[in-house]
Amino acid sequence: MKFRVERDVLSEAVAWVVRGLSNRPPVPVLAGVLLTADPEGTLTFSAYDYEVSATVTVEADVEEGGQVLVLGRLLADIARNLPAKPVELSAEGTKVSLTCGSSRFTLIQMPVGDYPQLPAQASASGSIPGDAFTQAVSQVSIAADRGDTLPILTGVRVEIEGEKVTLLATDRYRLAMRELTWNPSTSDASHVCLIPARTLSETAKSLGASAAVDLAFGDAGHGDGLVGFEAGRRRTTTRLLDGEYPKVTSIFPSSVDTVAVVETQSLIEAVRRVALVAERNTPVRLRFTDGQLAIEAGTGDDAQGSEAVESTLEGPEVEIAFNPQFLLDGLGVLGHPYTRMSFTQPSRPAVVSGQAELDGDPDDSYRYVLMPVRFAG
């Protein structure tokens, strides 16, 4: 095998496929990246760890086709630090030679025959705009559990009915739900799956710059537990989580007693400042009155902080406390100039949504439900 490729093309391609490789793979060959050179003028990079696969195809000047398997992270580190010149790579026996300007490296070939076959990707079930996909995933994945006590809660539940897509995640202390539309291949599209939140988030960030992302869910009842994503010449699959996701939508309150609207950026900055004195697991207290929201943290002999921001209020005054980081997580992905907070009572979950104008209608396509924290007083 022998080919020439631009340094930036090589660096970007390798970095993308190895981003999910484990530092301690169960089998040594899974630390490798598979390079496949096609005499027709393309070069394909592949990585796989039995959970996630990634492939990307780029243009290259291929003198001799073939395949080699080399350590993925090492190749990525080398490619990133090469001078801005064309890169030549050739396989000779058990070695792989890489030349770029006056830089020369020799890498050890890993046994290609021991590398597992990458999962085949099903035909696209539909497509979704890249920017909408990225935003929706970022809004929901923040609420997924980061621990391993309940693995099922580390996923994002994806439900599709026709043109409607609903993303849902919870860690039991908060819940995020986003509804959006996509372009299904068939009008009667119907899928429900649970995708690992971390993998979904990384995929959305890396593919979201594309105009559209194709999603492949496989045939209903005949899938192999995978979901696939493709944009341009990049393709990735991930294994789905098994299990029945809890029916958590009942958390959404059926009625609302109090509604407050606050400028989002002002609220974020105020909470961030006041939370500086909040020790670990200490909440910030929010007191909503007519025209004003008072934010406080710290009590007694502890350090204390307080700040007030303008707010509109409909309904009875309310005082409630939240984990400051959980509150900031939701506000940070809201995507609207104004934040709408809906309450029933201080001991019940609050619903955070966004709206474009102070007196405008709420955008209920994204709702972030936050469990309150009990506080003395």
Digit-coded pLDDT (tens) for 235-270: 999 999 998 898 888 888 888 999 999 999 999 999
Reported as type and span, the H/E element at residue 303 is none
The pLDDT value given to residue 82: 97
The partner residues of 5 in beta bridges, in order of sequence, read 87
Best CA proximity match to 356, nearest among 339, 342, 369? 339
Question: Is the CB of residue 333 less than 8 Å from the CB of residue 138?
Answer: yes
Digit-coded pLDDT (tens) for 45-68: 999 999 999 999 999 999 999 999
* Global model pTM greater than 0.75: yes
3-state SS record for 217-283: CCCCCCCCCEEEEEECCEEEEEECCCCCCCCCHHHCCCCCCEEEEEEHHHHHHHHHHHHHHCCCCCC
- Please state at what angle helix 130-141 crosses helix 197-207, rounded to 10 degrees: 150
Question: Is the CB of residue 367 less than 8 Å from the CB of residue 351?
Answer: yes
219: pLDDT confidence band, cut at 50, 70 and 90? low
Assigned token pair, 175: 């819940």
- In the chain, the amino acid numbered 233 is R
221: left (phi > 0), else alpha (psi -120 to 50), else beta? left
């890169």: which residue's tokens?
87
232: DSSP letter = T
Question: Is the CB of residue 8 less than 8 Å from the CB of residue 90?
Answer: no
The residue count for the chain = 377
Radius of gyration, CA atoms only, the chain = 25
| Position 221 pLDDT exceeds 50 | no
Best CA proximity match to 176, nearest among 139, 138, 134, 131? 139
230: pLDDT confidence band, cut at 50, 70 and 90? very high
Question: Is the CB of residue 286 less than 8 Å from the CB of residue 294?
Answer: yes
- In the chain, the amino acid numbered 16 is W
Q: Residue range 32-43: average pLDDT?
A: 97
Assigned token pair, 227: 């979901």
Best CA proximity match to 129, nearest among 55, 192, 209, 201? 209
**Cα–Cα distance for residue pair 171/197, rounded to 1 Å:** 11
377: pLDDT confidence band, cut at 50, 70 and 90? low
CA 216 vs. chain centroid, Å, equals 17
Domains of the chain: 2-114 (3.10.150.10), 126-249 (3.10.150.10), 252-370 (3.10.150.10)
The pLDDT value given to residue 251: 85
| Position 179 pLDDT exceeds 80 | yes
Reported as type and span, the H/E element at residue 314 is strand 312-314
| Position 281 pLDDT exceeds 80 | no
The pLDDT value given to residue 222: 41
Digit-coded pLDDT (tens) for 312-355: 999 999 999 999 999 999 999 999 999 999 999 888 999 999 99
